[in-house]
Amino acid sequence: GSSPNSSTQVIIRAISSMNNSQSNEPLMIVDGMAIRGGASTLADLNPNDIENITVLKGAAASALYGQEGANGVIMITTKNGGKNGEITVTASATLELNTPARLPKIQSTFIPGAKGMYKENMGSGGWGPYMSENDTYYNNLKEFLQTGILQKYDVSVSGGTEKFSSYASVSYTDNKGIVPKDYRKQINLLLKGIYKPSDKVTVQLSANFMNRTSRGFGNSMSTIYNWGINKDMSDYRTLEGHVNWWAYYDHWENLLDTERINGAVSPYYGRYMDWSQTEGNRFVINGQISYEPIKNLVFTGKMGYDKSYSMYDSYTVPRIYDGDLVDPTAEDVQNKLSDMQDRYGSYSFQPSRGALLNMQFLATYQHTFAEDYTVSALYGLEFKETKGLESSIYNEHFQLGGEFYSFNNTDFTNGDLLIANHPTLYHSKYNKYGHFGELRFDYRGMAQLSVTGRMDGSSAFKQASKTNYFYPSITAGVIFSELFHLSNDWFSYGKLRGNWAKVGKDSPRYLFTDTYKQWTLFPDGGYGVDPTTSRAIDLEPEMTKSWEIGADLRFFHNWTRLDIAYYSTTVDNQIVSVRVSPASGTILQTRNEGSLENHGMEISLNQDLIKTTDFSWSAFANFSFNRSKVKYLPNDITEIQGTQYGDIFPVARLGESSTGISGKDYVRDPDGNIICDENGYPIINAAKGLYIGNREPDWLLGLGSNLHFKNASLSFLFDGRKGGDVVNVTGRSQITNGMSSLYDRYRNREYIINGVQAVAGPDGTTTYVKNTTPIVLDSYFINTYYATVSSNFIEDGSYIRLSYVTLSYDFGNHFKRNWPIKGLTLTATARNLLMLTKYRGNDPAVLASTAGGTGGAGIDNYNVPSTRSFNFTLKATF
């Protein structure tokens, strides 16, 4: 995302679960042990500590990781110390500048109002008259955003011998976003050591500490996009620090008290006057000891502990002060104020903590016989315990003046207020256990066969009739070019591979427990069962069955390298919430219903073009596509819906893709043309929930190149996408509020809708002729016939982007041998330099943070604009 605090969403290949409570993200493994939080926790790691990243895509590759590996596995290995007896010190400094890359285009012609008329005290939108020469134009969106600056400093020390090696690093990051007061400051510390007291014993220990202080941008950009172009949004406060109401209202003095209570406040006021901050610490400790009592037999014990603390603290300063209201004692004013106590300020405090304990025991044995055959066996036991605690207190209406912004200064006398904002405390605990094994056969390194099996159990299923589940897999590969001696001048290497696997994914927690809620008459009302969702009667894990075939082919002495893979995955026993008869005393029940299928292809091509002593040039290309289909849902439902955006829903519909879009559309003829009435207006289909788009791309493509000349190197990457619809929620808001740049050209002009009109024949048949009747693009047409139709805001997300260009120079050869500095490298990287797309919004490659259910990809919902960055890094080695 564009914010320093944006969460990361990673989905390998495709969505596997349609339930919004189920994550589709892969399991994250650091130094052999799982960590909490999915891909969003990658921001807690120092990138300069990472040695390599391995992505296990298929179910067979992740079968040994059990339920959590059903969506794939990302394995991260951090750096180790050297073994040559020398100590190496590395220091680096990074400066990065971020600017908005693409902004939604805003009209510059019309001021706020209604139906083309000026309206007193209307400060947002653009449905008023033309801007006059006496009006000042303010580009509030451009002025609100700033240049984001990231600074990062790293120091690491590594060294050691064959017996003992260690690595230590510390880093500091200060990242300021393009939105004012959006920042993240982070300190990372990593200590890692490997000790071999004997040839039979190896001990490894790592400790990773992270401290974070941050403030995010929780508000959407909607207010900023729709602020009037003749209003200076930056003039947000008076000399006393109060709200400057005249930044929005022309005649504040004419407003009634009931209107003043809910007066519009500039977003600047919230960013600079309010305060919020999150402080967090995280400890990740991994340790393992390996013992080899006899040759090729190794016992390994592992333990990982991942614990985090977080504290969110915030207050909003009062919007209403003494003197802002004419008669605050009036009955109607008091009635409205009783529901809007936050206008006198509010305070929120939310501490939380979480922990993951992961323990493993592994036994491996390898034996080679007849020189050509090797058999390997692995057996393992694993236990995981996840704990969480979240708490929240909130109250409103600061009692004393000044800057005493404390929970103790809020109003405790309003009984209704206390009921609405009572403290909350949430505990969670979750256990998993499993034992697994692998048997591997190898013939001279040219043919391999692997068979795995895993038995898992989960506390999520402790009340189910079946609590343990078995997952098998089989993988095979053969290097046929060596086995059959096929290598020659043009064909260098060939390997075929294939696998089949079955792996499960358990349910969200506490589905087998009735939900209790505190009634509004507490304590007299006590507790009761939440009547919305009943407990699950019996559940089984979602079951993924997949197979994959692939080939690794190399030509012309390995100058040309081609890798191809085709996969097919079916996920049965989808855990979904379905409607049941109200006579049962509830509305929803969670059951195993539904089946989802994915299949696709991945192709990568690497080509060496030139290789000389001083110069090398290579190019690469990646191509992939995925096709998803909902094969089965319960008889009483036809789709699973995601988060609602007005009348638009991300949906997984029966017989369609798992990334579909439903909403409203026009009535169309058999050829898909819009049918207009006799007055030229398009006829809106009365049906809701029509299938109007699919966010799944037709294909993805990446093209890049690497060039090296002596000590200089240059690399770049183009990436693109064909197809895949984007829901332009932001664009819909601009259209509705009269702020779209389209109004500069088309507002109040005659226009002929590109559609047809139906003509009834004397025999009862209907024919269609081209519509030739003009209409006027005024606020009536826009808000009645255009903005209300979802399909107008479903756009093609195809694009081509210059993702990055990196230029680096290594000064290593310029230093004398007796100098303390061993190497110096300067690197400059520019990202998101160019994008070609027909999409009218911010960024067609938008990824929301939602990783569950139908996902948040392709939903452009008032997002912070994407950024173009320029990064400079100086790295020295001593």
Token pair 């044995």: residue = 365
Q: Percent of the chain scored above 90 by pLDDT?
A: 62
At residue 821, the pLDDT reads 84
If you average pLDDT over residues 188-216, what whole number do you get? Answer: 94
559 in a domain, yes or no?
yes
20 in a domain, yes or no?
no
Q: In this model, does residue 424 exceed pLDDT 60? A: yes
Q: Residue 737 CB: number of other CB atoms within 10 A? A: 20
The mean of the pLDDT values for the chain is: 88
Which residues does 602 contact at the CB level (< 8 Å), separation at least 6? 563, 564, 565, 567, 622, 623, 624
Write the DSSP symbol of residue 136: P
Q: Is 643 helix (H, G, I), strand (E, B) or coil?
A: coil
852 in a domain, yes or no?
yes
At residue 503, the pLDDT reads 86
At residue 515, the pLDDT reads 61
- Top pLDDT among 513 and 477 is at 477
At residue 418, the pLDDT reads 47
At residue 639, the pLDDT reads 85
Provide the whole-model pTM. Answer: 0.88
Rounded CA gap, 843 and 726, in Å?
9
Residue-wise pLDDT for 812-855, tens only, equals 767 666 778 888 999 999 999 999 999 998 889 886 545 556 66
At 617, the pLDDT band (50, 70, 90 cuts) reads: very high
Between CA 680 and CA 135, with CA 840 as vertex, the angle to 5 degrees is 85
Residue in 59, 57, 50, 58 with CA at minimum distance from that of residue 30: 50
Number of domains in the chain: 1
Strongest mean pLDDT among 287-291, 391-395, 763-767: 287-291
Q: In this model, does residue 602 exceed pLDDT 50? A: yes
Residue in 566, 560, 565, 567 with CA at minimum distance from that of residue 605: 560
152 in a domain, yes or no?
yes
Residue in 323, 4, 273 with CA at minimum distance from that of residue 150: 4
Q: Is 261 helix (H, G, I), strand (E, B) or coil?
A: helix
The 3-state DSSP composition of the chain as helix, strand, coil percent (nearest 5) reads: 10, 50, 40
546 in a domain, yes or no?
yes
Residue in 376, 351, 353, 354 with CA at minimum distance from that of residue 365: 376
Rounded CA gap, 168 and 32, in Å?
19
At residue 851, the pLDDT reads 53
- Concatenate the DSSP letters of all residues of 823-840 into one string: EEEEEEEEEEEEEEE---
282 in a domain, yes or no?
yes
Q: In this model, does residue 96 exceed pLDDT 60? A: yes
Q: Residue 125 CB: number of other CB atoms within 10 A? A: 21
If you average pLDDT over residues 124-141, what whole number do you get? Answer: 93
Q: H or E element: which one contains 267?
A: helix 267-272
Lowest-pLDDT range of 21-25, 266-270, 614-618, 856-860? 21-25
Residue in 498, 617, 593, 596 with CA at minimum distance from that of residue 551: 498
Rounded CA gap, 70 and 60, in Å?
9
- Top pLDDT among 335 and 817 is at 335
At residue 221, the pLDDT reads 87
Residue 432 pairs with which residues in a beta bridge?
A: 384, 458
- Concatenate the DSSP letters of all residues of 90-114 into one string: EEEEEEEEEEES----B-SSB-S-B
Residue-wise pLDDT for 667-693, tens only, equals 999 999 999 999 999 999 999 899 999
Which residues does 244 contact at the CB level (< 8 Å), separation at least 6? 235, 236, 237, 238, 266
- Concatenate the DSSP letters of all residues of 494-559 into one string: EEEEEEEEEEEE-PPTTTTS--EEE-TTTTTS-EEE-SSEEPPS----EEEEEEEEEEEEEETTTT
Rounded CA gap, 602 and 551, in Å?
11
Q: Is 417 helix (H, G, I), strand (E, B) or coil?
A: helix
Rounded CA gap, 422 and 521, in Å?
12
- Top pLDDT among 348 and 518 is at 348
At 510, the pLDDT band (50, 70, 90 cuts) reads: low
The pair of three-digit structure tokens given for residue 89, joined into one six-digit string? 């010190």
38 in a domain, yes or no?
yes
At residue 339, the pLDDT reads 75
- Top pLDDT among 153 and 586 is at 153
**If phi over 0 gives left and psi between -120 and 50 gives alpha, with beta otherwise, what is residue 296?**
left
Find the domain containing 471 and state its range.
Answer: 27-103+144-230+232-246+272-732+797-877
Rounded CA gap, 384 and 359, in Å?
7
Rounded CA gap, 537 and 473, in Å?
30
The pair of three-digit structure tokens given for residue 213, joined into one six-digit string? 């202080």
Residue 280: CATH number of its domain: 2.40.170.20
Residue-wise pLDDT for 32-59, tens only, equals 888 887 777 788 889 999 999 988 887 7
Residue-wise pLDDT for 388-403, tens only, equals 999 998 888 888 877 8
Q: In this model, does residue 527 exceed pLDDT 80? A: no
Residue 821 CA to its chain's centroid (Å): 41
For the chain, how many residues are written? 878
Rounded CA gap, 94 and 172, in Å?
10
Lowest-pLDDT range of 145-159, 480-494, 544-558, 575-589? 575-589
If you average pLDDT over residues 411-421, what whole number do you get? Answer: 58
Q: H or E element: which one contains 334?
A: helix 331-339
Q: H or E element: which one contains 365?
A: strand 346-369
Token pair 């047409």: residue = 781
At 419, the pLDDT band (50, 70, 90 cuts) reads: very low
Q: Most distant CA pair in the chain: distance in Å?
A: 101
Residue in 783, 773, 776, 774 with CA at minimum distance from that of residue 740: 783
Residue in 773, 821, 852, 762 with CA at minimum distance from that of residue 91: 821
Rounded CA gap, 591 and 139, in Å?
52
Residue 601 CA to its chain's centroid (Å): 23
761 in a domain, yes or no?
no
Rounded CA gap, 596 and 574, in Å?
8
At 876, the pLDDT band (50, 70, 90 cuts) reads: very high
Q: In this model, does residue 585 exceed pLDDT 80? A: no
SS (H, E, C) 543-579: EEEEEEEEEEEEECCCCEEEEEEEEEEEEECCEEEEE
Rounded to a whole number of angstroms, the distance between the first and last alpha carbons of the chain is 35
Lowest-pLDDT range of 389-393, 588-592, 764-768? 588-592
Which residues does 422 contact at the CB level (< 8 Å), separation at least 6? 518, 522
At residue 534, the pLDDT reads 65
Residue in 253, 319, 266, 251 with CA at minimum distance from that of residue 138: 266
- Whether 385 and 430 have beta carbons less than 8 Å apart is answered as yes
Which residues does 83 contact at the CB level (< 8 Å), separation at least 6? 160, 161, 162, 165
Q: In this model, does residue 25 exceed pLDDT 90? A: no
At residue 522, the pLDDT reads 46
If you average pLDDT over residues 216-230, what whole number do you get? Answer: 87
